[in-house]
Amino acid sequence: MNQWLAGVSWGGALNMALKYGGRRDYRALTYGALRKPSGVAFTRSRGLEVVYDPMINQGTHFSDVLRERMHIRGLVPPSVQPLNVQVQRIVKNLNDIEKPIDKYSFLQQLLDRNVVLFYKVLVEHFSELAPIVYTPTVGQACQFLDLIYRRTKGMWFSVYDIGMMKSMTYNWPEEDVDVIVVTDGGRILGLGDLGSNGMAIPIGKLNLYVAGGGLHPKKTLPVTIDVGTDNETLLNNPMYLGVHRRRLEGEDYMRFVEEWMDAVTTRWPNACIQFEDFGTANAFALLEKYRDRYLCFNDDIQSTGCIGKPSPFSQRQSKDQEKRMLEQGRRIIPCL
C-alpha cells in the first residue's frame, strides 16, 4: 500500500489531540497525522481555515474531538463517517458521470478540497482512474484548461517574470520539494503546442507519482514555464490563460530557462527536475545543457524506467548526483 496513505494508531493520535488540544496557542493535531512520515502533522488553523485547506480537510471524517478542538463543530455535517464511506460516495458520483473529461474535472475539484480523500480514491481504483487523471483524458484537459481551470495546483513562470523568478519561488509555501515536473507546453502528447494549458500534464504526472510511487503530495511541484505559444487558436482566444505572444526562441529561450533553473535549484537544491513534453529541439538542447549540472532528466527522451533501473553495468563509479537520481527513479517507476 502507498506508504503515504498508511495509517497510524488513532489511539496515540487522539491522545495527543486531547493532551494539546486545550491549549489555544498550540498547534492542533490534524488529519495529516496519517499522512506525514513522522505520523503527526500540525497546524495553527481553526474554523473555516481547516475546512478550506485541502491538505488537512477531512470533510465528514472529522471526529467529535477534532471538531471541538479545531472549532469546526457546526461547520461540517453532524455525521462522523469513516474514510471508506467517503470513498463510496465519490465512486458512486464518478460512476454517474459519463464523459471522461467530466470525471477528470470532478476528481480535480475533489483534489481542491480534500487531498487525502482524492488519493485514497485514486489508490484504491488506480487502474480505472489513471487514464482519467493522466493519459488519454489529460490531453483533452489541456485543450480546455481555460474553461475548466478552478484553482492553482502549481506554479507558472512566464516571460512577464524575467528577472524575478528567484524571488517568485518563495511564493510557494513548501520548504522541501522532492520532485518538480515542468513543461513549456511545446509538444503536449500528440496535440502539439498548447502553451500554458499544458499545466495539466505536470499535475497529472505528479498525481500518479503520489498514488503509485508513494511520494508525499506536499513535496511535489507542477510547473509550467510560459514562453508564449505559436498556436493561433490560443493566441486568438481571450480566455486563454497564458501569455498572448509568440514563443521565445534561440538564445532568448535558453536564457529564460537558465534563470528558471537557477531559481528553482537555489530554492530547492535537492529536488529532482523532470522535463516533460517540451518541443523536440528544445528537449534535447536542455537535457544536454543541464544533465551534468543538475539532478534532472527528460521523461520523453530517456524514459523514467531507465532512470529507475540501478546501473550495475556502468564501468565507472557513480557520482553523488547519479546516486540521488537513481534513488528518485526507483521511487517513481512503480507508477508508470
Dump pLDDT digits (tens) for 67-117: 999 999 999 999 999 999 999 999 999 999 999 999 999 999 999 999 999
User: Which residue has 564501468 as its cell numbers?
Assistant: 315
3-state secondary structure of 214: coil
C-alpha cell at 132: 482519467
H or E stretch including 181? strand 179-183
C-alpha cell at 186: 511545446
Q: Residue 10: count other Cβ atoms within 10 Å of its Cβ.
A: 12
C-alpha cell at 97: 458521470
Extract the residue ranges of the chain whose pLDDT is less than 50: 1, 4, 6-38, 304-305, 307, 310-317, 331-336
> So what's the pLDDT on residue 325?
52
User: In one letter, which amino acid is 264?
Assistant: V
Q: Say how far apart CA 279 and CA 250 lie, in whole Å.
A: 13
C-alpha cell at 85: 464511506
Is-contact 66 59, C-beta < 8 A?
Answer: no
Q: Hey, which residues are catalytic here?
A: 134, 205
pTM over 0.85: no
